[in-house]
């Protein structure tokens, strides 16, 4: 378990977002056995990089570049925008949203409501 001061030291540009994400990150590390210093360091470093120190849980780009990308499972017009990167590690593409949804919820709810990955608990768990 990391403390707020440790998270602030790891991600000095996180500001007030550190307190929002502290509990979800600790719960996620506990749930998924990210329980050694090396695993925690790798996990938090990747999150810091991908999310801009917890700033972004939705990709800044429109998602148009992912339109009809078969390698991402984007098979319908609009999938690029709908399934652009979300969560602390930017889950991207219909196929990855489906896999993530089944892993986290046991169903395909993210295909209907991809914005759920922007919520702190889901953003952390999807990482």
**Model pLDDT for residues 32-71, shown as the tens digit of each residue:** 999 999 999 999 999 999 999 999 999 999 999 999 999 9
Confidence of residue 86 (pLDDT cuts 50, 70, 90): very high
Contact 47, 21 (CB under 8 A): no
Query: What gap in Å lies between CA 82 and CA 99, rounded to an integer?
Result: 16
Predicted pLDDT of residue 15: 95
Contact 69, 81 (CB under 8 A): no
Both structure tokens of 107: 């169903």
Both structure tokens of 8: 């602030």
Predicted pLDDT of residue 18: 98
Predicted pLDDT of residue 96: 98
Segment 99-115 mean pLDDT: 98
pTM of the model: 0.94
Q: How many helices (H) and strands (E) does the chain have?
A: 7, 0
Predicted pLDDT of residue 46: 97
Predicted pLDDT of residue 21: 98
């Amino acid at each position: 378990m990391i403390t707020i001061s440790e998270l602030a030291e790891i991600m000095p540009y996180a500001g007030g977002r550190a307190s929002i994400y502290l509990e979800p990150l600790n719960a996620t590390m506990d749930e998924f056995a990210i329980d050694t210093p090396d695993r925690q360091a790798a996990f938090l470093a990747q999150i810091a990089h991908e999310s801009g120190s917890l700033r972004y849980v939705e990709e800044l780009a429109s998602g148009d570049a992912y339109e009809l990308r078969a390698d991402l499972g984007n098979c319908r017009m609009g999938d690029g925008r709908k399934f652009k990167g979300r969560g602390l590690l930017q889950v991207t593409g219909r196929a990855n949203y489906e896999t993530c949804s089944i892993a986290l919820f046991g169903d395909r709810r993210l295909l209907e409501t991809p914005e759920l990955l922007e919520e702190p608990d889901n953003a952390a768990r999807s990482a």
